[in-house]
């Protein structure tokens, strides 16, 4: 019996490692090549950091990077705020149509990006006339990032013991003070986690941004796309490596924030 | 605002909490069904009943955490219906103690005082006093996840008491503790209450806890108040079938009154047994539906009626056969089947050093003697 | 009589108060998201629904005449085929993701032990990394001048580079590469949530591990499979980047068609009707899956 289990375990282990290799190999390759001295960025010809140096002097890249950072920053703040309020409302209140609202909130993240991107483009140009560029991009990002915040924070909320809120009320704190002194601190890890997950999502987004950005508002992903037609280039390798590193950093931070949150909860 | 300042020492039995005809309904169930009662200042009052009887709901209505559909709550004579929980002069100790995980013991206890915007020095002083009161000295800096269940409950208690509320509400505070700890905490609770003198309103499903802790008990079932009284009254003279069996009077006989004379009534049970009981002062004869007897009051003697030692003429004697003996150490639980019937009696026999020869055994014919004072009339 | 009236009056007054408090609360907490959903989700969808039924001029501008011609054009002919192919590829991807994703999810849940977090980290990072970059990276790997080909040539295994790109195989592989993590995570979440004692009971009652998997484990993780399917199937149907990068103009999917119509050609009515069809199909699928209890699993996975 035990032998069978161990064989199965080994087989599964091999399969898992293969799957991981499948998922990671391309990106590891890119990261390696970003340090390669090859002009085409698709083979290894010695170690160098020159592509990273070149990146810093590239104006186009700098502009795009700034734009992406600003958009992501604004989106994170607003989406997290909306997400927290919505999660609180959904958790506490019960009303007809709540299920419908919950499902509707899911739509932006589940629909293919082409559909939401196309729909928003038409909406911005034909109906509401919001200028394409920062306004349209930021709005679009908020639309598809808020649901993420909602569900992350809602998920945390469902694991709480809310009798703390009643205790605070009972001890003389108004609902506002209760949120300030009790609920808020408890939710902070989840809020931080959602902020750190939304940032890469907004920063990396391509399809929707491409649709609603109009002319001249190049974000970093759009820049990457425009370079893609040239095949592999070292520039993209470096940018790609940065992207992946940012995401990994974000994930690590999220993990530690969650851990901190857990140690103060029993 | 604090109870100790406004306590009127001249009026010994002031009503500090009044519940007036309160109704609370949830979809499909009436949790509190027209309940009215008054709670005296300084007493420990318990709501006792099985789960789902509405006792917790009633407590939450008093605290303001739920709003009643009908009726009034008056604390210290003031109607508080419209007041939110943070403005009512009562404080709740929750079953899950509900300590704030991100604050230490001192922070938790001082929470309400901070809300009252008291100066820091005074807060520190009052918090320290309560920490000593509940024997948590030296633990001010600990966080809830570093405390044991009993310690957490004590902090919760201190946190509520430091506000000196008119009424302290306890929602099954000991239910989550293990038996040994529960007993210790019961002793602690009583000591603390005697020391601070605050009115305690306690909710529990544990009969023993209610009996040992309370000055008065209200037994509830399905949102209705069945009986209010002192522990002795509830235990020794339960009024209804449910209260009797809930308090452990496992022997309940149904029947009716067949005749009455000279201040005595003759009661006949469904099994055909007849017993003579003193005439009750406050119950009409046709309302008497039966009587109950606690298992520890019944005496067992082997043999049959004829071989019996003499007893009072008003004792009831029943012949039966022992079905099963459960040895529980300090006492034995004996079930006896009444001859020619399906009725089962439950009898507790204490362990004693006398009469080692009269060991009770299964299958033995016995006589159960119900002493005159052991039979308690039931209504409804 | 008067007493009863008073009672019912105060009752309905209290109820009215409660209702108003509820409405206020809803407005306070949920108005932003409600605005977003109505203005930026439903309204745009309604617009393109509307536009789908308009005529499109020779240069692709919109002529405000009501017509079915765009819808019909989308349904029939080559476009219909593309649409069907997209659905087929989505099913295929979904199935492959389950096939490849379940083993690793199972391994991590069951045998992961202390390293579980590390494993999950290794799965989450690809799923959260820039989609574009991942696809680009894969392309680098499999292109004619790419790493695999270079390696094979250097090792002398082939004399000419293998054409991997612009084939059906490439598209499928890229789709699975892109969406596999999104299937692994919900399955893992579902497996983690299993009550071990249920599995032990099954073994105790005589089920071999093999049978136990199919009779107990798999059904119990149905929620995870559904959630993963939502996360994989729906975006895949509307895929644009993968077919355009890995399939070129030879292999088109619904998404690339929509993108094409919207941006390059500027034929908004056509693009709209296609998008609406896409959206409608997906809404239907979403609705069905949610009915089968997928939503809770989806939220849990997040």
Tens-digit pLDDT profile for residues A177-195: 888 898 888 888 888 888 8
**What whole-number distance in Å separates Cα of residue B201 and Cα of residue B271?**
42
* Residue A24 maps to a domain: no
Q: pLDDT of B304-321, one tens digit each? A: 777 666 667 677 888 888
pLDDT of residue A74: 95
Q: Is the pLDDT of residue C6 over 70?
A: no
Put simply, whether B70 touches C (Cβ < 8 Å) is yes
* Interface residue B69 vs chain C (CB under 8 A): yes
Distance CA C140, CA B2 (A): 76
Tell me whether residues B70 and C11 touch, CB distance under 8 A. yes
C13: closest chain B residue by CA? B69
Domain locations in chain B?
Answer: 3-236, 241-380
pLDDT (mean) for A90-101: 83
Backbone angles phi, psi at B201, to 5 degrees: -115, 110
Calculate mean pLDDT across residues C279-302: 62
Query: How sure is the predictor about B11, in pLDDT bands with cuts at 50, 70 and 90?
Result: very low
How many C-beta atoms surround the C-beta of residue B172 within 10 A?
21
In tens, the pLDDT along C33-73 reads 888 888 888 888 787 777 777 666 665 566 666 776 666 66
Picking from C94, C102, C128, the residue whose alpha carbon sits closest to that of residue C189 is C102
Domain for residue A170, yes or no? Answer: yes
In a domain? residue A210: yes
Domain hosting residue A68, numbered range: 52-263
Compute the distance between CA of residue B68 and CA of residue A223 in angstroms, rounded to an integer: 63
Question: DSSP secondary-structure letter at B101?
Answer: T
CB of A150 closer than 8 Å to CB of A87: yes
Interface test with C, best of B70, B79, B82 (most C CBs within 10 A): B70
Number of folded domains that form chain A = 1
The two beta strands, B70-75 and B15-26, are antiparallel
Q: Do A154 and C299 touch (CB under 8 A)?
A: yes
Q: Is residue A160 part of a domain?
A: yes
A14 within some domain: no
Position A263 scores a pLDDT of: 52
Q: Say whether B69 and C11 touch across the interface (CB within 8 A).
A: yes
- Which CATH number applies to B3-236? 3.40.50.300
**Closest chain C CA to residue A40:** C145
pLDDT digits (tens, 9 = 90+) for B267-299: 888 877 788 888 887 778 888 888 889 999 988
Q: How far apart are CA B165 and CA B86, in angstroms?
A: 12
Q: Which of C177, C175, C151, C164 shows the shortest CA–CA distance to A20? A: C177
Whole-number average pLDDT of chain B:
87
Q: Which chains form contacts with chain C, at 3 or more CB pairs under 8 Å?
A: A, B
Nearest Cα to Cα of residue C70 among C88, C84, C49:
C49
pLDDT number for residue C227 = 80
* Residue labelled with tokens 């958009």: A71
pLDDT of residue B235: 94
Residues from chain A that touch B94, judged by Cβ atoms under 8 A, are: 163, 166-167
User: B260: which strand partners?
Assistant: B265
CATH number of the domain located at residue range(s) B241-380 in this protein: 2.40.50.100
* Structure tokens that stand for A143 in this block: 């639309």
CB B84 within 8 A of CB A169: yes
Measured CA to CA, the distance from residue C180 to residue C164 in angstroms comes to 20
Distance from CA of B119 to the nearest CA of A (A): 16
pLDDT tens digits, residue range B82-106? 888 888 999 999 988 888 988 899 9
Is B115 in contact with A265 (Cβ distance < 8 A)?
no
Whether complex ipTM tops 0.85 = no
Give Dmax (Cα) for chain C.
102
C8 touches chain B (CB under 8 A): no
Task: List subunits contacting chain A, requiring 3 or more Cβ pairs under 8 Å.
Answer: B, C
Helices C268-291/C294-301 angle, 10° precision: 100
Encoding tokens for residue C274?
Answer: 């296609």
> Which pLDDT score, from 0 to 100, does residue C132 have?
86
Question: Is A119 close to C45, i.e. CB distance below 8 A?
Answer: yes
CATH assignment of the domain containing A105:
1.10.3720.10
């Amino acid at each position: 019996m035990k032998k069978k289990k161990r064989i199965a375990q080994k087989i599964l282990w091999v399969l898992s490692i293969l799957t991981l290799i499948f998922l990671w190999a391309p990106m590891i390759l890119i990261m390696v090549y970003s340090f390669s001295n090859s002009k085409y960025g698709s083979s290894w010809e010695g170690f160098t950091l020159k592509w990273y140096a070149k990146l810093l002097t590239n104006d186009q890249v700098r502009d795009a990077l700034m734009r992406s950072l600003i958009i992501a920053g604004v989106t994170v703040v607003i989406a997290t705020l909306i997400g927290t309020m919505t999660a609180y409302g959904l958790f506490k209140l019960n009303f007809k149509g709540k299920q419908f609202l919950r499902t509707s909130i899911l739509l932006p993240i589940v629909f293919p990006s082409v559909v939401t991107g196309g729909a928003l483009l038409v909406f911005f140009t034909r109906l509401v006339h919001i200028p394409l560029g920062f306004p349209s991009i930021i709005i679009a990002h908020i639309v598809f990032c808020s649901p993420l915040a909602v569900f992350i924070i809602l998920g945390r909320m469902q694991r709480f013991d809310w009798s703390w809120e009643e205790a605070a009320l009972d001890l003389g704190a108004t609902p506002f003070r209760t949120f300030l002194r009790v609920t808020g601190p408890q939710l902070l890890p989840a809020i931080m986690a959602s902020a750190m997950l939304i940032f890469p999502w907004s920063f990396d987004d391509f399809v929707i941004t491409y649709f609603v950005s109009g002319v001249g508002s190049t974000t970093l992903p759009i820049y990457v796309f425009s370079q893609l037609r040239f095949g592999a280039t070292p520039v993209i390798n470096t940018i790609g490596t940065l992207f992946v590193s940012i995401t990994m950093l974000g994930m690590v931070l999220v993990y530690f924030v969650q851990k901190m949150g857990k140690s103060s909860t029993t | 605002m604090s109870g100790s300042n406004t306590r009127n020492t001249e009026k010994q039995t002031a009503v500090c909490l009044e519940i007036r005809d309160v109704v609370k309904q949830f979809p499909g169930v009436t949790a509190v069904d027209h309940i009215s009662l008054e709670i005296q200042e300084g007493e420990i009052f318990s709501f006792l009943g099985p789960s789902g009887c509405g006792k917790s709901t009633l407590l939450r209505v008093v605290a303001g955490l739920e709003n009643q559909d009908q009726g009034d709550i008056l604390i210290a004579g003031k109607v508080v219906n419209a007041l939110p929980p943070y403005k009512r002069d009562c404080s709740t100790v929750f079953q899950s103690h509900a300590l704030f995980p991100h604050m230490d013991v001192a922070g938790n206890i001082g929470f309400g005082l901070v809300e009252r915007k008291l100066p820091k020095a005074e807060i520190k002083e009052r918090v320290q006093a309560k920490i000593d009161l509940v024997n948590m000295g030296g633990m001010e800096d600990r966080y809830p996840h570093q405390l044991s269940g009993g310690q957490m409950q004590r902090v919760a208690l201190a946190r509520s008491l430091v506000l000196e509320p008119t009424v302290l509400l306890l929602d099954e505070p000991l239910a989550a503790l293990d038996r040994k700890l529960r007993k210790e905490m019961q002793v602690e609770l009583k000591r603390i209450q005697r020391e601070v003198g605050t009115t305690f309103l306690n909710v529990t499903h544990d009969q023993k806890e209610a009996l040992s802790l309370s000055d008065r008990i209200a037994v509830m079932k399905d949102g209705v108040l069945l009986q209010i009284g002192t522990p002795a009254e509830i235990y020794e003279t339960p009024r209804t079938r449910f209260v009797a069996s809930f308090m452990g009077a496992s022997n309940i006989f149904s029947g009716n009154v067949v005749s009455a004379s000279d201040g005595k009534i003759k009661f006949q049970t469904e099994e055909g047994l007849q017993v003579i009981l003193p005439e009750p002062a406050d119950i009409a004869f046709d309302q008497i539906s039966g009587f109950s007897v606690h298992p520890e009051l019944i005496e067992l003697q082997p043999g049959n009626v004829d071989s019996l030692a003499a007893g009072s003429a008003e004792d009831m004697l029943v012949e039966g056969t022992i079905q099963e003996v459960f040895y529980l150490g300090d006492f034995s639980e004996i079930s006896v089947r009444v001859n020619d019937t399906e009725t089962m009696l439950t009898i507790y026999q204490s362990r004693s050093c006398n009469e080692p020869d009269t060991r009770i055994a299964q299958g033995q014919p016995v006589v159960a003697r119900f002493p005159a004072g052991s039979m308690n009339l039931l209504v409804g | 009589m008067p007493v009863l009236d008073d009672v019912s009056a105060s009752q309905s007054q209290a109820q009215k108060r409660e209702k108003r408090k509820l409405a206020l609360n809803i407005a306070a907490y949920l108005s932003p998201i409600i605005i977003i959903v109505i203005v930026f989700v439903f309204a745009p969808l309604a617009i393109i629904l509307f536009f789908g039924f308009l005529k499109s001029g020779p240069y692709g501008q919109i002529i405000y005449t009501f017509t079915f011609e765009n819808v019909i054009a989308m349904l029939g002919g080559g476009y219909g085929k593309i649409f069907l192919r997209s659905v087929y590829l989505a099913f295929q991807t979904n199935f492959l993701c389950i096939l490849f994703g379940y083993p690793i999810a199972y391994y991590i849940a069951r045998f992961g032990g202390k390293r579980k977090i590390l494993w999950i980290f290794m799965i989450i990072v690809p799923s959260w990394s820039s989609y574009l970059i991942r696809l680009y990276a894969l392309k680098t790997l499999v292109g004619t001048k790419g790493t695999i080909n270079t390696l094979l040539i250097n090792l002398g295994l082939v004399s000419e580079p293998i054409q991997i790109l612009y084939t059906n195989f490439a598209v499928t592989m890229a789709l699975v590469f892109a969406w596999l993590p999104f299937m692994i995570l919900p399955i893992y979440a579902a497996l983690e949530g299993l009550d071990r004692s249920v599995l032990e009971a099954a073994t105790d009652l005589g089920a071999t591990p093999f049978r136990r998997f199919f009779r107990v484990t798999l059904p119990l993780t149905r929620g995870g499979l559904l959630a993963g399917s939502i996360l994989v199937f729906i975006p895949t149907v509307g895929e644009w980047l993968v077919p355009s990068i890995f399939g070129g103009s030879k292999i088109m999917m619904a998404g690339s068609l929509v993108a094409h119509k919207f941006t390059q050609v500027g034929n908004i009515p056509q693009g709209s009707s296609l998008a609406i069809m896409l959206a409608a199909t997906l809404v239907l699928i979403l609705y069905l899956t949610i009915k089968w209890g997928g939503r809770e699993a989806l939220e849990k996975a997040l």
